[in-house]
């Protein structure tokens, strides 16, 4: 250990991990194996002061900075090759509920399971991710869709305040009344403006059980199901939602899975979705479950430690032909024995989220719903490029199915579902420059981009936070 790092270690309340440390492999591990990078230093920070010191050390030693929350960015945005990682997950992961004021105070490294479990003890909840091992901060700063979006909008619409450590080492409160420009920018601008050490959420009264679970259908039922979906989606209410998955069963045969959600009892949910159940699923696990299990239903399908390639695309309306084509395609891929593929169509009611003007936050709101393409495989990180090409083929099927009506931003999908362009020579997104970075930023932020550039100039003029759809300072 060099003298400089030894004296740095002494100033830090958390843990500083370097490659020779036995903890190193654990410290650079990510949800997606192919998102791991060999950092020079990982700082498991304990508080905002640790973050300030870490930024200062990184700047002094010219180390690129990455910020790790829940560690789910499959492109490596929270990892750094040869740089310094500020990791909030290990220590800065508190969740405290102020039941009287219905507020949740959440550490910048917490995951959604912690929020769901703590808040529901008080009969409260907020909009969080549908896989509860994802990070609270990464998901929120990039927008944040979830099962409760129908009633409460996006995660950013429920964010009341955040503590942000900015590039010059200031610890700022961002809210509607303090540093309003920063508050506007972080709600959709991702990790471009600093490190969120605490996020404060509006919590809402939530019943303790919900109707949710999986129904698995054979492909011959898909035509009827898509017809029912169109009818249902046209009249969707605030307290419901579905994720429809195109994937394969363990025997390699294509299946169509619907995860149902109804914020009510089993009797109410069954009655509400009766026509879907009448179609005759081959498996039906939908039941009344404790609220805190709602966001764990997909966990097993997206376990830690595999390689993943994720890609987003939007969808304006359900499409039967495209769904059939996707079923054939994923079954064909399964035959190869390498890739596990799923296309997850998220039907979260959008009216509430879209009632917020596009200019009210930095997030690029869109009318359409999201589809997440997920391709996973074991071990061989070298297959990322192949997975990328396959993901593009799948997404193209969706785009064609929408009659090419999607604009470019919708084609590139939800920012939090995007992957980095792996043609970039260095694995670091921070190396993105020039036209390439500008094009990505344009798609990610659309009409909000010029204002984001101005705010970036104020808070991060040297662009040290440049790993997630980097914004070029004005
Ligand atoms: C299996 C799976 C399911 C998902 N489901 C949903 C879903 O239901 N709804 C939804 O909206 N999205 C969903 N997502 C997308 C998810 O929102 C993003 O992957 C998100 O970036 C994950 O955040 P993280 O903190 O876990 O990741 P990380 O890899 O730690 O971080 C992601 C980005 O956020 C930055 N970041 C993390 N913490 C902080 C912080 N404290 N301060 C500043 N920047 C920070 C990182 O630097 C990085 O740029 C899902 C993703 C996966 C992999």
Q: What is the pLDDT of residues 319-372, one digit of tens each?
A: 999 999 999 999 999 998 899 999 999 999 999 999 999 999 999 997 789 999
C-alpha 231 to ligand 1 mean position (Å): 32
Contacts of residue 78, defined as CB under 8 A and 6 or more positions apart, other chains included, come to 30, 35, 66, 67, 68, 69, 71, 85, 138, 467
- The mean pLDDT value for 370-389 works out to 91
pLDDT score, position 2: 79
- What's the gap in Å between 178 CA and the centre of ligand 1? 25
Ligand 1: atom nearest CA of 66 is 47
Atom of ligand 1 nearest to the CA of 308: 53
- Residue 298 CA to ligand 1 center (angstroms) comes to 16
Whether the per-residue pLDDT at 202 is higher than 80: the answer is yes
Q: Tell me: the pLDDT tens digits for 83-101? A: 999 999 999 999 999 999 9
Model confidence band, residue 277 (pLDDT cutoffs 50, 70, 90): very high
For a ligand 1 pocket test, name from 73, 110, 414 the mutation site with the most ligand atoms within 8 angstroms of its C-beta. 73
Tell me which residue of 426, 336, 427, 346 sits closest to 387, measured CA to CA.
336
| Residue-level pLDDT at 404 | 78
Q: What is the pLDDT of residue 440?
A: 82
Q: What is the pLDDT of residue 4?
A: 85
Tell me the percentage of the chain whose pLDDT exceeds 70: 96
Name the residue with the closest Cα to ligand 1, atom 7: 129
Distance of CA 68 to the CA centre of its chain: 13
Confidence of residue 420 (pLDDT cuts 50, 70, 90): low
Q: Choose between 468 and 421: higher pLDDT.
A: 468
Q: Residue 136 pLDDT more than 80? A: yes
Half-sphere exposure of 465 (CA within 13 A, CB side): 25
Tokens coding 248: 């394969």
Least trusted range by pLDDT, from 32-46, 108-122, 394-408: 394-408
Residue 424 — pLDDT band, cuts 50, 70, 90? Answer: very low
CA of 133 to the centre of ligand 1 (A): 10
**How far, in Å, is the centroid of ligand 1 from the Cα of 399?**
25
Q: Best substitution site from 55, 58, 74, 78 to test ligand 1's pocket, by max atoms within 8 Å of Cβ? A: 78
Give yes or no for residue 256 having a pLDDT over 80.
Answer: yes
pLDDT at 338: 92
pLDDT at 1 over 70: no
Percent of the chain with pLDDT over 90: 88
pLDDT of 81 over the 80 cut: yes
- The whole-number pLDDT of residue 425 equals 36
Asked whether the beta carbons of 326 and 394 are under 8 A apart, the reply is yes
Predicted pLDDT at 441? 86
Cα 176 to averaged position of ligand 1 atoms, centre (Å): 23
Instruction: With cut-offs at 50, 70 and 90, classify the pLDDT of residue 433.
Output: low
Q: Per-residue confidence at 434, pLDDT binned at 50, 70, 90?
A: low
pLDDT category of residue 422 using cuts at 50, 70 and 90: very low
Q: Please tell me the predicted confidence (pLDDT) of residue 438.
A: 76
Q: Which residues, judged by CB distance below 6 Å to any ligand atom, belong to the binding site of ligand 1? A: 66-73, 77-78, 88, 108, 129-131, 134-135, 137-139, 141-146, 190-191, 195-196, 302, 416-417, 467-468
pLDDT at 204: 98
Q: Does pLDDT of 423 surpass 70?
A: no
Structure tokens at 147: 């099962």
For residues 350 and 346, what is the distance between their CA atoms, to the nearest angstrom? 11
Rounded Cα distance, 443 and 407, in Å: 10
Q: What is the pLDDT of residue 368?
A: 86
Chain-centre distance for alpha carbon 289: 24
Q: Which of 128, 129, 370 to mutate to test the pocket of ligand 1 (most atoms within 8 A of CB)?
A: 129
Ligand 1 centre distance from Cα of residue 89 (Å):
12
CA of 226 to the centre of ligand 1 (A): 30
């Amino acid at each position: 250990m060099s003298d400089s790092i030894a004296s740095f270690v002494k100033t830090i309340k958390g843990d500083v991990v370097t490659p020779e440390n036995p903890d190193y492999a654990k410290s650079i591990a990510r949800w997606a194996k192919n998102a791991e990078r060999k950092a020079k230093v990982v700082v498991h920070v304990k508080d905002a002061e640790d973050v300030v010191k870490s930024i200062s050390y990184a700047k002094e030693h010219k180390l690129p900075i990455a910020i790790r929350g829940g560690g789910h960015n499959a492109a490596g945005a929270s990892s750094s090759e040869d740089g310094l990682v500020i990791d909030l997950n290990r220590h800065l992961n508190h969740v405290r509920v102020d039941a009287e004021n219905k507020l949740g105070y959440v550490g910048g490294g917490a995951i959604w399971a912690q929020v769901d479990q703590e808040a529901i003890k008080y009969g409260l909840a907020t909009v969080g991710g549908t896989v509860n091992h994802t990070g609270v901060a990464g998901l929120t700063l990039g927008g944040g869709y979830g099962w409760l979006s129908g009633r409460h909008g996006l995660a950013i619409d429920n964010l009341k305040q955040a503590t942000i450590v900015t590039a010059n080492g200031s610890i700022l409160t961002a809210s509607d009344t303090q540093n309003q420009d920063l508050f506007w920018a972080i709600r959709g601008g991702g990790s471009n403006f600093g490190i969120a050490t605490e996020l404060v959420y509006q919590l809402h009264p939530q019943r303790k059980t919900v109707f949710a679970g999986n129904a698995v259908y054979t492909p011959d039922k898909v035509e009827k199901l898509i017809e029912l979906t169109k009818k249902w989606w046209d009249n969707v209410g605030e307290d419901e939602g579905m994720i429809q998955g195109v994937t394969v069963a363990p025997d390699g045969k294509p299946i169509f899975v619907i995860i149902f959600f109804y914020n009510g009892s089993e009797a109410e949910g069954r009655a509400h979705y009766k026509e879907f159940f009448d179609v005759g699923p081959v498996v039906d696990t939908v039941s009344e479950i404790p609220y805190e299990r709602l966001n764990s239903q997909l966990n097993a399908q997206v376990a830690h430690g595999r390689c993943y390639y994720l890609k987003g695309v939007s969808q304006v309306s359900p499409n039967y032909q495209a769904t059939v084509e996707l079923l054939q395609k994923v079954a064909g891929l399964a035959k190869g024995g390498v890739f596990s593929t799923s296309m997850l169509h998220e039907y979260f009611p959008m009216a509430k989220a879209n009632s917020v003007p596009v200019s009210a936050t930095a997030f690029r709101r869109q009318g359409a719903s999201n589809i997440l393409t997920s391709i996973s495989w074991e071990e061989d990180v070298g297959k990322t490029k192949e997975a990328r090409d396959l993901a593009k083929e799948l997404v193209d099927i969706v785009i064609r199915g929408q009659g090419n009506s999607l604009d470019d931003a919708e084609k590139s999908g939800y920012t939090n579902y995007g992957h980095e362009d792996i043609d970039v020579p260095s694995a670091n997104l921070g190396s993105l420059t020039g036209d390439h970075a500008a094009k990505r930023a344009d798609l990610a932020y659309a009409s909000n981009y010029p204002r984001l550039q101005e705010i970036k100039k104020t808070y991060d003029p040297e662009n040290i936070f440049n790993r997630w759809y980097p914004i070029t300072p004005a």
